[in-house]
Structure 1
Amino acid sequence: MEFRLHPEVIHSAASQGARLEVVEYDPRPTERPLEGFHQPLTRPARWRQLALHLEGGLAVLEPGALQYLRGEIEMQASSSGGTGGGGLGGFLRGAVSAAASGESLFKTVYRGAGVIYTEPTRLHLLLGELHGEDLIVDDGAFVACAGQVTVGRHVNQGLAAMLGSGEGRVQPKLSGSGVFALQSPVHPDEFQILDLRNETLKVDGNLVVAYSGGLAFSVEKSSRGLLGSGRTGEGFVQVYRGTGRVWLAPTLPIHSPPVSLAGAS
């Protein structure tokens, strides 16, 4: 049986001069089932796409996320998302500079009025808001942001420092006020947004997709695996201390192996 994908906006979030919408494509049969017969249907997977509506505002997308755009919108490569100018010429110069220096092109800034559409994905899209704060995002989870938000880099020493390595893990850091979109195999309804108030949170596994920049993060040995942690690298927990928010996905192991939030569901 053939199916047709029907688009429907299932989530939205707005900021000054910008609005994010999650469009979900629901597969529906093109023919009505035969009367008097039992027809088991195996529906194709649902796909999702992010639509960013700009009204003279600014948006930042992860490189490769763009599918197409409509309107008077300029693009620019930026090493500090949310700043600078130069339009398409600036974008090309930034790409050449990145290639010459060996530095990856980290983000692309869009300015103007129109609509930007990202590549469809089977992952879920999680929308959130920032109110003059910082947010550290898990590598591979960032999709886009809009409003007065800059995208920088946060060097997370974490496990590297624990094991004596000199290099830390680089993660996206969102700063300012506006809206953002993250991707995950976990449905948004399954996330727990924990408000820590001068508290300590310990997580066994890569279940945190984002956390407030004001929280102190470290990787510590768990009491149950001190011997194993010294030999195999197991027995560590991620620790968050202070006041702030944590986006936790406790059902992640059900949807995919707990290796990376960038995996497809």
Structure 2
Amino acid sequence: MKTTITSKSKAEVIFQSVGDSLFQVLQYNNIAGYTSYKRFKQIKDIYANNDSLRQIKVILKNSTIKIQSEILSYMKGDIEIKDKKIKSSSITRRLLGVGEKSGKISLSGTGEVYFKPSFKYFSLIELDDEEIVIDEDIFYICEDSIKINIEDGENLLDKDKLQIKLRGSGIVILLMQVPEDEIIRCKLFNDKLIVDGEFAVLRSGSIDVSIESINNNFNHSDISEKEYLHVYEGIGEVWILPTLSCYEDFSEDINEKQEQ
């Protein structure tokens, strides 16, 4: 069949990591299509500010990965899809209705897997017999060697927030709201980190988190985000996104102007 379409991708590899599978971060240095003029202007503004569309590609080599739901774009090869059940606490199952019904998708076999492109940012982590706890909404992909458990928000201001505990050795990919150079890796050695807000997205499994009153008059039954703070203590590290609120405020301002 003759066509003007070439099979060569416009995306280039900007970073990769090798485990049981090969994980690659692809970047589109230019995209020219659009479905509306408004969308066209938004995309051009993003590229004008030296940002780009990114995508994750994983090459499976008789291996298995676990992925977040609804992120798959397409895949080629002998690859099997399964639902992967993950464990959660009894409190989470009872209050939030998750548990046996909750899980991630498992992809097994040999071939190439492409995930949905995004203007958000990807962070790759290599765990070496380590444990981390992350916000559920930043989980993207991990190797099958990583064990996944769901944690409830019992020790957080937002009791409805789900977190994921990842434990073992292998590669993990996270989907972040801010660029990597705006992520602060705050390392603790029997120190105390106090955070006013919901922008601590990752912590070592050895770090304890609790809620503390600003006026030290703690009343667990009457929690207000204006009066209480998250406290992190122990040995390990906490990832915080101090610039996240700026993006959220900016997005709200844009939405308000569009509605006027």
Output the TM-score relative to the length of structure 2: 0.73
Cα drift, residue 8 of structure 1: 2.0
| Structure 2, unpaired ranges of 5+ | 1-8, 34-42, 47-51, 88-97, 252-260
| Structure 1, unpaired ranges of 5+ | 31-41, 82-100, 162-166, 260-265
Q: Provide the rounded CA distance (Å) in 1 between the counterparts of 2:117 and 2:160.
A: 32
1:53, 1:113 within 8 Å by CA — same for their partners in 2? yes
Amino acid corresponding to residue 86 of structure 2 in structure 1: S
CA deviations over 1:78-125 (Å, ceiling 9, x no partner): 1139xxxxxxxxxxxxxxxxxxx9964420111222221111112111
Cα drift, residue 14 of structure 1: 2.3
2:86, 2:99 within 8 Å by CA — same for their partners in 1? no
Alignment of 1:1-265 (within 5 A): 6-15=10-19, 17-27=20-30, 43=44, 45=46, 46-80=52-86, 104-146=101-143, 148-159=145-156, 169-223=161-215, 232-257=224-249
Amino acid corresponding to residue 234 of structure 2 in structure 1: G
1:13, 1:128 within 8 Å by CA — same for their partners in 2? no
- Determine helix, strand or coil for the equivalent of 2:235: strand
Q: Provide the rounded CA distance (Å) in 2 between the counterparts of 1:258 and 1:196.
A: 31
Q: Which moved more, 1:151-160 or 1:107-116?
A: 151-160
Amino acid corresponding to residue 63 of structure 1 in structure 2: S
- Determine helix, strand or coil for the equivalent of 1:253: helix
Cα drift, residue 19 of structure 1: 2.2
Aligned residues: 219
Q: Provide the rounded CA distance (Å) in 1 between the counterparts of 2:245 and 2:125.
A: 23
Identity percentage of aligned residues? 27
Amino acid corresponding to residue 113 of structure 2 in structure 1: I
- Determine helix, strand or coil for the equivalent of 2:197: coil
2:207, 2:232 within 8 Å by CA — same for their partners in 1? yes
- Determine helix, strand or coil for the equivalent of 2:226: coil
Q: Provide the rounded CA distance (Å) in 1 between the counterparts of 2:218 and 2:240.
A: 25
**Structure with higher RCO (Cα < 8 A, 6+ apart):** 1
- Determine helix, strand or coil for the equivalent of 1:157: coil
Q: Provide the rounded CA distance (Å) in 2 between the counterparts of 1:232 and 1:156.
A: 15
Output the TM-score relative to the length of structure 1: 0.72
1:226, 1:235 within 8 Å by CA — same for their partners in 2? no
CA deviations over 1:140-199 (Å, ceiling 9, x no partner): 1111112511222112312369xxxxx664322211111111112200122122222222
Q: Provide the rounded CA distance (Å) in 1 between the counterparts of 2:223 and 2:237.
A: 33
Q: 1:134 to 1:121 in 2, by over 3 A?
A: same
Q: 1:56 to 1:231 in 2, by over 3 A?
A: closer
1:63, 1:108 within 8 Å by CA — same for their partners in 2? yes
Amino acid corresponding to residue 249 of structure 1 in structure 2: L
Over aligned residue pairs, what C-alpha RMSD do you find? 3.3
